[in-house]
Amino acid sequence: MVIDTSFPEVKLLVPTKHQDERGFFSETYSRRTLTKAGLGFEFVQDNHAFSTHRGTIRGLHFQIPPYAQDKIVRVIRGAIFDVVVDVRRESPTFGRFEGFWLDAADWKQLLIPAGFAHGLCTLEPDTEIMYKVSNFYSPAHDKGVRWNDPEIGIEWPVKPEEALISPKDRALPPLATLPSYFGVTEPAGALSA
């Protein structure tokens, strides 16, 4: 199932889960299913992240063209508050964010196209996420926005003094200083009807 969000380009995905007394089975990714839904993304890599502590914040990250990345994020253990921010300067929703509560039990995944910064805060200890990306990591194209930028106004579910954040993420610039990295066109993976 594909669920719309406040951004037309960002989608919640809910794969079918078949359960019985043995446990469950699910196709957590199907290119055919996404293509039928008009979401023709090509993914090249799976990433796996583990956070030991509740209140760990990662982000807000994105890569710029020609190494921009579309992502599908899913929680395999624990829970997160997942955030996307529109960083397409010419977009009418530039700087706006939306937050999503994702956990291993609800089986939802978040599809984040290029042009959106992504961040998360762990809600439980020992949280693991996996995410697909449509382009390989490129240090020269790795960018981000400060997690607590007041211009964006994200209300994280952890007190700032209790948040566990890497030095690299603490040093990310504010939204106001971002150049125009992305145009406002159809997302890279969208298929025309």
Please measure the distance between the N-terminal and C-terminal CA atoms of the chain and give it in whole angstroms.
Answer: 18
Which of the residues are catalytic?
61, 131
114: helix, coil or strand? coil
d(CA 109, CA 4): 12
- Distance of CA 132 to CAs 5, 109, 125, 146, Å? 19, 11, 23, 23
Which residues have CB under 8 Å from 27's CB, separation 6+? 15, 16, 33
Phi/psi at 63 (nearest 5 deg)? -115, 150
- Distance of CA 157 to CAs 54, 74, 124, 126, 165, Å? 10, 19, 11, 17, 14
d(CA 67, CA 65): 5
